Amino acid sequence: MNSLERKIKEVQERLERLRDVAGKVRSLEDFRASRDYRDIVERNLQVAIEGCLDIGKIIISRKKLRAPEDNKGVFIVLAEAGILSKGELKTWTAMAGMRNILVHGYDKIDDEQLYGVLRRRLDDFESFLKEIRVRYLAKQPDS
């Protein structure tokens, strides 16, 4: 298994853990009441987003695309290259911002925002991975 495949698998595993919590938490109040669920969501969301960033960086390196200026730039470069659709770009630049808050701004983490991602944004990871498969992996000679 190569590095790109490992990163894809890691994102899928983290997404599975997030979906498991999503199936157990019934409301924002339940989410706020459980430090364990909040911790699980924070960590797995962070690692899943970082996995998507790593996937992007691997592709950028392999295709010798321009170097991104920052994490949001990873998704911008992928979109410029036609690997990430323009429709997904807004979502993923926001996810890069969310990752930065999770990593650097623990005092700024908003339970409502995390719960919103848990309830409404997990499919974005599947969409990202699908675009990587269709727009990049399927076009590789050894795919």
- Indicate the angle between helix axes 71-80 and 86-104, nearest 10 degrees: 170
Tell me what the pLDDT averaged over the chain comes to: 95
Q: What is the pLDDT of residues 44-83, one digit of tens each?
A: 999 999 999 999 999 999 999 999 999 999 999 999 999 9
Q: How confident is the model at residue 3 (pLDDT cuts 50, 70, 90)?
A: very high
> Quick check: 28 pLDDT over 90?
yes
Q: What angle do CA 11, 1, 63 make, to 5 degrees?
A: 75
Buried (b) or exposed (e) across 109-118, using 16+ Cβ within 10 A? eeeeebbebb
78-91 burial, b if ≥16 CB within 10 A, otherwise e? bbeeebbeeebbeb
Does residue 8 have a pLDDT over 80?
Answer: yes
Is pLDDT of 116 > 90?
yes
Residue 108: its pLDDT value, please? 79
pLDDT at 105: 81
Mean pLDDT of 115-137: 97
On the question of pLDDT at 1 being above 70, the answer is no
- The pTM assigned to this predicted structure is 0.95
Looking at the structure, give the CATH architecture of the domain made up of residues 3-139.
Answer: Up-down Bundle (1.20)
Please say if the pLDDT value at position 107 is more than 80: no
How many Å from the N-terminal Cα to the C-terminal Cα in the chain? 13
Amino acid (1-letter code) at residue 132: I
Q: Record the tokens describing residue 23, joined without a space.
A: 């199936």
For residues 30-44, give the mean pLDDT: 96
